[in-house]
Amino acid sequence: TQLLEQSPQFLSIQEGENLTVYCNSSSVFSSLQWYRQEPGEGPVLLVTVVTGGEVKKLKRLTFQFGDARKDSSLHITAAQPGDTGLYLCAVRSNTGNQFYFGTGTSLTVIP
């Protein structure tokens, strides 16, 4: 059973479209991170959200942490081919020294 469920698993869209991907859990976390991974490389941190209801913007990317700190969303406006990659959410366990990643959303933006 995955601690973090991400949806959709795969997403293929045309350049210029908007999209939202989700990261859900039944557990509460003190913070949540989003990473992007390009093929053949390791993940790179995009953002950390720490407060319930928090919204952070990174250019065309908007990240939101759920009010109850159990879920998060990533919205991309006017997607570009450079946004193509695997988007991963990640948390540290509240009960132990473990880090958990979601299974990821693989995004392809078609020119």
DSSP state string for 13-72: EETT--EEEEEE-SS--S-EEEEEE-TTS--EEEEEE-STT-EEEETTEEEEE-TTSSEE
User: Interface with another protein by CB under 8 A: which residues?
Assistant: 2, 4, 29-31, 33, 40-45, 48, 50, 88, 90-92, 97-104
**47 closest CA partner among 28, 68, 61, 67:** 61
Nearer to another protein, 26 or 97 (CB): 97
- Smallest distance, Å, CB 75 to another protein? 21
- Smallest distance, Å, CB 102 to another protein? 6
Nearer to another protein, 1 or 14 (CB): 1
On the question of a cis peptide bond just before residue 8, with omega within 30 degrees of 0, the verdict is yes
| Cβ burial, residue 97 (10 Å; 0-12/13-18/19+) | exposed
Nearer to another protein, 10 or 77 (CB): 10
Nearer to another protein, 10 or 78 (CB): 10
- Smallest distance, Å, CB 15 to another protein? 26
- Smallest distance, Å, CB 96 to another protein? 10
